[in-house]
Amino acid sequence: MVEEKQGRIRPAREGEAEVLTELALRSKAHWGYDPAFMAACREELTLTRDRMRRRLEVAEEGGRVVGFIELTPEGKGVMRLVSLYVDPSFHGCGWGRRLWERATTLTPEAECTAMIWDADPHAEEFYRRMGGRRTGEAPSESIPGRILPRMQIDWEPAGQCSVCTGRL
């Protein structure tokens, strides 16, 4: 658990899937997507029992869940940032940066040499400010024909990735 000046970052708890799903939906809707778009994204943004078994870290302030990150192995030495969401009422409070820093701390600790993710186009600039770089494009899992920025950040080689091999 990472203690923060105002709040903390901790592992997700069993039973928080619905809270995290609703937070992800609110966060995505913040960008002005219409109801049809949001309905198409619902399945992709839903935290299932299987997804809750992944590496999930939750930002909590005043006993309220305000954001989360979700990481999963992508291959040898590579971690995928599946989700980084902050409740819109907490945008601008530093939680996006804190969650990003947590993700980028966990990944090298797990001996991964890179982290990749597909960004919402509205979030690409945030990720660039955090040190990510665009490496290409990826199709949306929810919206046919929609293309997302594929992004990456690299670290020095540290050996075989324990997360990517399932030994975390």
16-44: pLDDT as tens digits? 999 999 999 999 999 999 999 999 999 99
Residue 152 has pLDDT above 90, yes or no: yes
**DSSP code of 152?**
E
pTM: 0.86
Residue-by-residue DSSP string for 20-82: HHHHHHHHHHTT---HHHHHHHHHHH---HHHHTSEEEEEEETTEEEEEEEEEEEETTEEEEE
Name the band, by pLDDT with cuts 50, 70 and 90, for residue 5.
Answer: low
- For the chain, what are the domain ranges? 2-154
102-151: pLDDT as tens digits? 998 887 666 788 999 999 999 999 999 999 999 999 999 899 999 999 99
Name the band, by pLDDT with cuts 50, 70 and 90, for residue 159.
Answer: very low
Is 2-154 CATH 3.90.1150.10? no
37-93: pLDDT as tens digits? 999 999 999 999 999 999 999 999 999 999 999 999 888 889 999 999 999 999 989
